[in-house]
Amino acid sequence: MPELLDSPAVPAAPVLPDSPASPAQGAFLLPDGAGVHFRVWAPFATKVSVVGDFNEWNDAAHPLERADDGNWSGTVPEAKNGAHYKFAVVNGEKKFLRNDPYARLIDPQKQNSVLHFSDFDWGNDQFHLPSLNELTIYELHVGTFGGASSENRIGRFEHIRRMLPYLRNMGVNAIELMPPANFPTELSWGYNVNYPFAVEPSYGGPEGLRQLIKAAHEHGIGVIIDVVYNHFGPSDLDLWQFDGWQENNLGGIYFYNDHRAWTPWGENRPDYGRAEVRQYIRDNALMWLREFRADGLRLDMTAYIRNVRASGSAADDLPEGWAMLQWVNDEVNQHFPGRVMIAEDLHEMDAITRPTADGGAGFHSQWCGKFVHPIRAALITPDDAHRDMDSVAAAVHAAYDGDPFKRVVYSESHDEVANGRARIPYEVSSDDPGGFFAKKRSTLGAGLVFTTPGVPMIFSGQEFMEDEWFRDTKPLDWTKLEQYRGIARLYRDLMHWRRNTKGLTKGLTGRHTHVHHVNREGRVLSFRRMWTPEGEGEVLVVANFSNQVLKGYRIGASATGRWHVRFNSDAKMYSSEFLDEGDHHFEADGEGHDDLPASLALDLGPYALVILSQGEPDKGGAPAV
């Protein structure tokens, strides 16, 4: 098998001073009706006060006291939950009204910080996220998932809540929300966050998110939240020159003020070298896990946290960014064991998911570019002769740091189906994205996602042939769920076989993989998935990447006897256009093949994937969840 790619060099992490040991910043409700205590970091300000509904916005009413560390604090007895407020910041002759960087809610009309102290009742919520080898992730965008109407252009958390029974029955046990933090535009993917601690009010605000997560847990579904720490903004950003100080006309205390400020999204990279900025990011990460009981975080493009230009060049390294990633992941592991931290880095670095004790960044898993790119290429290439089976085999066999579950495998994500690229059915056949070839090759890709070792993820709508490309102005077309109900059933079946809910495919949850058959001319791939190296729970996967019906095609097997077809993507129950080639079981004889002691001759439909295992036959019925 092809060897794994060598990892790029890891930047040496500097020894940084600890982040401040002082109390966290923001607004804190005091007991017994004593009011609200405010704390804000503004080291270059000459005066700071808090203004709001409680003092008729009078900047002389409640001045804050400065500490030696540049923090300003004070108590306002009159402040109550729900009050609007801001900080009045003075720097010499300059005066500003700034929203609280730690505000939990921003009023969408007045653009004020809102005191929001939740007393949400979590009931008897004892949910625990499944382990990585049993996780199936469904990525979605809140604003387009629920559909939209002329009265409501933006989807909300409540729309997702109503769809939880559907997702549960599909076999989803974790949803990943594209960033739900406050953004300034009417519509957004969510990656232009301007208030990282505030939940987007058009989605339903902080209480709407809590209700969604509680309901998801009741359905056995975890919630992973996308967070953006490689840049803030770039627009409508109160953090920008927050206390009036700046250098080179750049962002001031929260940002780098030199060449390190550059990102693809503007000159707005946080200054990871400042202890207060590191604590700001750390506090934000822990907030989602503590206050909202999120089950994990996915960090957007960490390559731009550890490197100025994600270039791989040591000259562009940001060692303090690497150290910050390590610190945040250590904090999560210490305070919230069992939560999952996922990186989008896409530079194939083993060190991203290596423990911090071994010099790694400490993420539990990372999005896998060396799966998605070769698999998409193999699926959308028009001519069978040009499908590269060696790259497909390498994609199946790959791992990070020797562990296949340290990678998230997918064929569609919000990035893969936008920015000039479309959904796989459209890429396969733009003239007929719901036709035979689009169905066949997109479901072949789905089969690989759910049988390849790794954490499988699909993008919302993928299960019912959503086509074209993702954009925040176009809601999901849920009418396609009925139109392509068979394809949705195919995805459901794949998820349940992947999770071994019937106890017949344990190998699909194991980390041991043997790619034993690569037919470069015939475009056929077969691999074994096993729970143990000795073969416990073995599952055999066979994939036909050609437009040919294959009769009596011989594949090596580890044992003689009956192998049951657990899943066949060519089955007519998934589409009347499919050929239903193949039987329900095949007998393996003692004819050695593919360096294995036995083999079986099976039938394969065009662009079809089958899953086989020994043991009891499938008794039918809905999979247990």
Report how far residue 57's alpha carbon sits from residue 51's, in angstroms, rounded to the nearest whole number: 5
Q: Which of 18-22, 78-82, 216-220, 382-386 has the lowest mean pLDDT?
A: 18-22
- Which is it for the CA torsion 328, 330, 335, 339, positive or negative? positive
Per-residue model confidence (pLDDT) at position 620: 72
Any long-range contacts for 518-525 (C-beta under 8 Å, 24+ apart)? 518/389, 518/390, 518/393, 519/389, 520/389, 520/390, 522/546, 522/548, 522/550, 523/384, 523/387, 523/389, 524/389, 524/550, 524/553, 524/604, 525/389, 525/392, 525/393, 525/396
82 lies in the same domain as 148: no
Length of the chain: 625
253 found inside a domain: no
114 found inside a domain: no
14 found inside a domain: no
Residue whose tokens read 């108590």: 75
604: domain CATH number is: 2.60.40.1180
388 found inside a domain: yes
Per-residue model confidence (pLDDT) at position 2: 29
Q: How far is the CA of 250 from the CAs of 93, 182, 196, 420, in angstroms?
A: 19, 22, 20, 31
492 lies in the same domain as 510: no
- The per-residue pLDDT for range 256-273, each reduced to its tens digit, is 999 999 999 999 999 999
Burial (Cβ within 10 Å: 0-12, 13-18, ≥19) of residue 6:
exposed
106 found inside a domain: no
Amino acid at 279: Q
- For residue 576, pLDDT over 60 is answered with yes
Beta carbons of 564 and 618 less than 8 angstroms apart: yes
Return the beta strands (E) in 401-558 as ranges. Answer: 407-409, 455-459, 512-519, 524-530, 539-544, 550-557
Per-residue model confidence (pLDDT) at position 618: 86
What's the DSSP call for residue 560?
Answer: -
- Which is it for the CA torsion 207, 211, 217, 223, positive or negative? negative
Average pLDDT, the chain: 94
What tokens appear for 105 in the block?
Answer: 């809610």
- The per-residue pLDDT for range 499-519, each reduced to its tens digit, is 999 999 999 999 999 999 999
- For residue 166, pLDDT over 50 is answered with yes
Beta bridge partners of 471: none
137: alpha, beta or left, given left = phi > 0 and alpha = psi -120 to 50?
beta
571 lies in the same domain as 493: no
- For residue 21, pLDDT over 70 is answered with no
- Among 448, 466, 499, identify where a domain stops: 499
Q: Which of 23-32, 205-214, 377-386, 503-512 has the lowest mean pLDDT?
A: 23-32
478 lies in the same domain as 540: no
- For residue 23, pLDDT over 70 is answered with no
623 found inside a domain: no
Residue that wins the pLDDT comparison between 133 and 186: 133
Residue that wins the pLDDT comparison between 262 and 153: 262
Strand, helix or coil for residue 172: coil
- For residue 147, pLDDT over 90 is answered with no
Beta carbons of 73 and 64 less than 8 angstroms apart: yes
619 found inside a domain: no
What tokens appear for 607 in the block?
Answer: 């662009």
383 lies in the same domain as 301: yes
- Among 83, 100, 117, identify where a domain stops: 100
Beta carbons of 20 and 63 less than 8 angstroms apart: no
94 lies in the same domain as 138: no
Per-residue model confidence (pLDDT) at position 12: 56
- For residue 151, pLDDT over 90 is answered with no
- The per-residue pLDDT for range 395-417, each reduced to its tens digit, is 999 999 999 999 999 999 999 99
Termini Cα distance of the chain: 36
Please, what is the Cα angle at 148 between 147 and 153, to 5 degrees?
140
Looking at the 3D structure of the chain, how many domains does it have?
A: 3
158 lies in the same domain as 94: no
Return the beta strands (E) in 333-460 as ranges. Answer: 340-343, 365-367, 407-409, 455-459
What's the DSSP call for residue 255?
Answer: B
- Among 499, 528, 547, identify where a domain stops: 499
What tokens appear for 147 in the block?
Answer: 């559909």
590 lies in the same domain as 453: no
CB atoms inside a 10 Å sphere around CB 391: 16
316 lies in the same domain as 454: yes
88 lies in the same domain as 149: no
343 lies in the same domain as 400: yes
620 found inside a domain: no
What tokens appear for 460 in the block?
Answer: 């919302």
Q: What is the mean pLDDT of residues 358-366?
A: 98
Per-residue model confidence (pLDDT) at position 271: 98
430 lies in the same domain as 343: yes
Return all residues near 482 (Cβ < 8 A) that are at least 6 apart: none
Per-residue model confidence (pLDDT) at position 13: 55
Report how far residue 238's alpha carbon sits from residue 85's, in angstroms, rounded to the nearest whole number: 14
54: domain CATH number is: 2.60.40.10
407: domain CATH number is: 3.20.20.80
Kind and range of the H or E run holding 567: strand 561-568
**399: domain range?**
132-233+261-499
Percent of the chain at pLDDT exceeding 90: 91
Report how far residue 506's alpha carbon sits from residue 590's, in angstroms, rounded to the nearest whole number: 24
Its pTM stands at: 0.95
Beta carbons of 113 and 106 less than 8 angstroms apart: yes
What tokens appear for 433 in the block?
Answer: 């994205």
- For residue 554, pLDDT over 60 is answered with yes
